[in-house]
Structures are given as C-alpha cells and as structure tokens.
Copies of this chain bind each other. A is one copy, B any other.
Amino acid sequence: MINQRVPKIWYGGDYNPEQWDKATMEEDLRMFELAGVDVATLNVFSWAKTQRDEHSYDFTWLDEIMDRLAEEGVHVCLATSTGAHPAWMAKKYPDILRVDYDGRKRKFGGRHNSCPNSPTYRKYSALMARKLAERYKDHPALVIWHVSNEYGGYCYCDNCESQFRIWLKERYGTLDKLNAAWNTGFWGHTLYEWDEIVVPNALSEEFGGNRTFFQGISLDYRRFQSDSLLACYRLERDELKKITPDMPVTTNLMGFYPELDYFEWAKHMDVVSWDNYPAIDTPVSFTAMSHNLMRGLKSGQPFMLMEQTPSVQNWSPYNSAKRPGVMRLWSYQAVAHGADTVMFFQLRRSVGACEKFHGALIEHVGHEHTRVFRECAELGAELQQLGDQLLGSRSNAKVAIMYDWENRWALELSSGPSKALNYVDEVHKYYDALYQLNIQTDIIGVEEDLGKYDVMVAPVMYMVKPGVARRVEQFVSRGGTFVTTFFSGIVNENDLVTLGGHPGELRHVMGIWAEEIDALLPGQHNQIEWNQEWGSLRGSYPCGLLCDVIHAETAEVLAGYGSDFYKGTPVVTRNRFGEGLAYYVASSPDSKFLQGFLANLCEEQGVKPLLNTPTGVEVTERVKDGGSYLFVLNHNAEEMTFDAGSAKLFDLLSNRQVSGHVTIPGRDVMILKRSAAQS
C-alpha cells in the first residue's frame, strides 16, 4: 500500500487552487466531495509563486490550501515545484537555461527547461525540496512526495560538456579505452585530450535528432543526460528522505518516453507513477503494454496512474472527447494492469495559457452538471466501494517481453539497415499477439529475474549487454522458452559489433548463423512457409521489414522463406538447448502468424489464456493473498458475450455472481473475484 492514510484506490489529480480565488476553492471542495476525490496533487508549478528571489520563500498560500484540504479529508500528493524555474532565476543565473540540439542558448520560457547540470538549478531545487520537507513533514494531508514533473529533454550547454567529460572519465578511465569503445579510428576522430570531446548534437556528430556519425558518443550522451536528470531527482529525493524517511517519493514518468532509462530511475523511486495519454488512435493493447512496462520497472509492484484526462486533451492534433464510459473503462484498464490510483490532470480547468482546452473534472462552466463530472463522480463512488481489497495485488504472468532503453537508443541511432525499423513497434507486435490471446505478459528489463517466467520474448535484441547472453542461456537450459528475432545479437553495450557471425553472443543458444541482413522496401514482402502442422499454424504468412539470411547450425528449421534469392532458407528455427527451446524469427511477421506461433509456444509450456473472449474484450488478472481478480474490459461499443467457465465468480462492480456465458455491455467492466480456494 502506497500510504496507509488512504487505504483504497486513490482518486483525484492535479490541483492548482493558487491560480484562483478562495471562493472558487470552496466550490471545488464541495464538488470534490460529490466526486469522491480524496487525493490532490499540489504545487506542481508554483516555484515562482513561492520563491521571488534568492532569499524569500513564502509558503503561506500553500499552508492554507493544505490545511483546508486536510479539513475536508482530501490528502495531498505534494510536488516540489521544480519542473519549471522562475523567470527571475533565468534572468539572474542564465546557467539554468538549456542549450538546445541546434546549439542555441534558450531564453526563459516553457517548462522542463532547466539544465540538469546547472549549479544554480541543483542548488535551488534541492533547497526547495528541503524547505518543503521541513515545513510539511508532519502535515496530516501529506501522503506522498512528487518530485519535479515529467523529467525530460536534453541539454547541450558548456556545463553539460564539462560534466560529460567527467562522466566519461569515470566510465572509461583512459582515453585509449574511450577511443576503442567509440571506434574513433573510423574517420580519424582519435582523441588525445579529454577536452577535445564536445557534446554530440547538430553542430558536431549528430543530425536530424536521432542520427549520428558515431553511435558510441551519442549513446553515451543519452546515458549521461538520463543520469544527469536522475541526479537532479536524487538530489531532491535525498533532501526529502533526510527529513521524512518514511514518506514515499515518486516522480511521474511517461510510459515509453524515449529519452530516459526508466529502469535506472525506478531503482530510486519508492513507487512508480505515470501519466497515461493515449492518442485517439493508440491501440488499447499499446496502452496495456505501457501499463505493464511501468509495472515492470519495479518488478511488478503496483504503480500510480498519476495523470489521465477526464475527456479531451488539448495537445493532440484532433482532441476528441472520450466517449461515454471510456474514461471509466480506461481507468479500470490501468487498475487491471497494476495501478493502485486513478488520478486526473486536472481537477479544475485553467482559464488561460496552452492547456486551457485540456479536460478537467471541473470544466470552465464551473458546476457539476456536465457529462464529464457525472461520469467521474460515478467512478469515484465505485472506487470508494471497492475499498482496499485490490491494493497491492500483482501480476502472475508466466510470459515476459524484454524491453531495454539502451537497445532502443542504439537501434534509433543505427545507420542502416532500414529506416522503417521501429523497436517499440516490434515489441508491441509481440505484446499485441499475446494480448489478443489473453495471455498475461509482463514487460521487463534485462536485469529482471528470469526464473519467474516460462516464456521469454526479446524482439530485436540488437544490443546484448554484459552478462545478458549468459542469463538467457541459463534461462533456456533450465527449461525456459526463449524467442528472439532478426537483427539480434549484433552489438555490445558500446554499439561495437560482436565479430565472428551474428547473432553474436546469442549464436550459441540460438544455434544459427545470420549471414546477411536484407532490407525490404515499404510494401515489399517475403513469406514464412509453414509446411508442417503445429497448432493453428499452416501455410504461407507474409513477413517483411528485414530478412536475416540464416543458416541453421544446431537449430531445427521450422519454416523457410517463400521467395527471393534466399527462398527455401530458414526463416523460423528452434534450438534445443539444455532443457529448453530457443526460437529465432528471422523476419517481421504479421499478427496472424504471431498469434498462432506464440499460442503454440505457450501451450508447450503449459501457459494458457486467462479466458477466451471475443475480439476487443480484454482480460487481465491481479492476484493477492492467493486470490485472483480477473478484469474483463469490453473495449467495444457493443455488448459482448464470453464463457466465464463453470466456477462461480463474483463481480466486485455489480456485486453479483457470474458463471458460464456472461454478457458484458459495451464499454463496461467486470472485476471477477475468484477466491484462493477456488483457483
């Protein structure tokens, strides 16, 4: 449980009463009560309000709000306000301003605008955290610390350049090692002094945002910037922990956000929280996968849904309203995947500036007689009724997909073989197939304990970091099923090619050699020719993007290519390795193949679907104290029917028992409890 003070699924969101008058706040409190709001996130962007110069801090406005919320039984997720620095600070201490990718020194503006290596930023942000902790350490409303906000963006200033050199010295020790790691001999970039190193951006080694002449330096700069921002977080976290060691600390993450290695970050967070803003055309399985990634950051520990919109966004190209029922459906989807909170951005819509058209619990009209408010209030009531029974329950998945930010960076920075290769899309392809099968799947990092799982999928495992290949071998040899794909095992952690034949460190366990990698044009396809029967698999399936031309060494060939000069050569192979099996999929198949293929692998391992449901009806499970909670989410607008099996299940939301053929209305949700004894 995140904090015993709120022993239920938290409900609330971002709240900025300091932007309004007191009468409005009283009206808000009246409506919070109607909506069942019990947690408000305060102080996210109030640094300038609190601190008007180096020496003057004024928290009285925050005292009043905290006290008033406490009186009304609303708890506080207290932000440290360091997500945007004050204008006076930028004016007086320009080191706090970033230099952008194009080498331009920025002026004051925006948010997430502080250089992470700015002495000014580090000094005053840590001081702010300390002052907040000192002042509110005993406040009855406080339930969690929220450090800064949505960390992100890179800086390329001279301070960063100096710190980058220090960071590199720590990483490599000598320039010889650095020259080797970056392969500087290529194009004659040999470095003789540390201060010859410059930041890689559009003025030096990079171009187009994600393209580089030297993958080594660019990879390291991503690591360094992720670390620099993390160092800022840790500075504040440490200040908070000194004074309130038992109060949980988080910062809100952003799912598959590309710039930060959240697996590193999560090590320093008590609880993961994140902001879920699916676009209008985001597949629901992508949202599901994102939740599982956030859950996987801390090995399955429940997380916080820190932000979602009650209805519209403002920053999408087309900001459609969430249709009736969708806000509730997606809120429960978060819970189904491990969230122990449901929170909004925001509780009252702002009157001006760029987010005034972002939805809120309390709209511009200012009263509760809106569709959006009504739906929020109904959900608030349900969450109160659910109480604490789901809190702390976890996934029990036997299947996992590996995802790694450093691998992603390396793939995005790669020059060749195909610009169409998108790592996250390939990960999602595999996740989506398992999702459609109702097979519970974790998303994990490469350091996770693999022993928990029966089936492990690592799509496009291009970069194999130290020790990972050995751990994969152990996993397989002890009976696990491992799947990887084309363009895997290519490089080490410095993006240097593992010589001697792809897939490099994975070659032993996969039992194949990939001689060539062929890139297909958009719309061009080859075929997976599946000639034996295995489950539902049979016949020809299209594949594309990249085609590894491989040789089976110890592996068995399951299917061959259907065309081109490598027609008939292996495209899917299986290698027996110890007690387990290692599958290689040498191209990028369609969803139909993957569902058939993964269903078979799971079946081999005795991993079965949670339920069989029609398309669009998602099923997931949380378990706790031996009991199971099956979440059934109907993403269709129409009612659907599924077979819940013969056991009696109790729907926590409708308070009734169900079994056999069950009908679920369009966009409705069930939480079917199966007691420990039953399962």
- Mark A residues whose CB is within 8 Å of B: 16, 18-19, 45-49, 52-53, 81, 84-88, 90-91, 102-111, 182-193, 195-200, 202-206, 212-216, 280-281, 311-321, 323-324, 349-358, 363-366, 370-372, 414-420, 494-497, 499-502, 513, 515-522, 549, 564-565
Contact = CB atoms under 8 A, between A and B. Distances in A.
B186 A45 contact: yes
A307 B63 CA distance: 65
A203 B280 contact: no
A264 B167 CA distance: 49
A373 to B, nearest CB: 10
Query: How many copies of this protein are present in the complex?
Result: 3
A517 B322 CA distance: 11
A370 to B, nearest CB: 6
Choose among A47, A105, A202, A203 the residue with the greatest number of B CB atoms under 10 Å from its CB: A203
Choose among A91, A321, A324, A416 the residue with the greatest number of B CB atoms under 10 Å from its CB: A416
A45 B102 CA distance: 27
A520 B315 CA distance: 14
Given A108-B198, A203-B107, A520-B320, A312 B354 contact: no
Contact of A354 (B213, B315, B324): B213
B190 A353 contact: no
23 contacts: A49-B188, A102-B104, A103-B107, A106-B204, A107-B204, A109-B214, A110-B213, A183-B352, A215-B353, A216-B352, A313-B416, A315-B415, A316-B416, A317-B420, A318-B418, A319-B417, A320-B519, A323-B565, A324-B565, A351-B496, A352-B494, A365-B500, A366-B501
A501 B104 contact: no
A522 B110 CA distance: 29
Contacts of A363: 515
A491 to B, nearest CB: 8
Contacts of A357: 414-417, 517
Contacts of A312: 416-417, 516-519
A516 B321 contact: yes
Contact of A355 (B53, B199, B349, B415): B415
A502 B364 contact: yes
A203 B106 contact: yes
Contacts of A19: 183, 185-186
Contact of A214 (B183, B351, B354, B414): B354
Given A318-B420, A318-B519, A520-B318, A186 B106 contact: no
A100 to B, nearest CB: 8
A320 B524 CA distance: 11
Nearest to A357: B416
A111 B500 CA distance: 29
Given A351-B497, A494-B352, A513 B365 contact: yes
Given A205-B110, A364-B497, A216 B318 contact: no
A415 B314 CA distance: 6
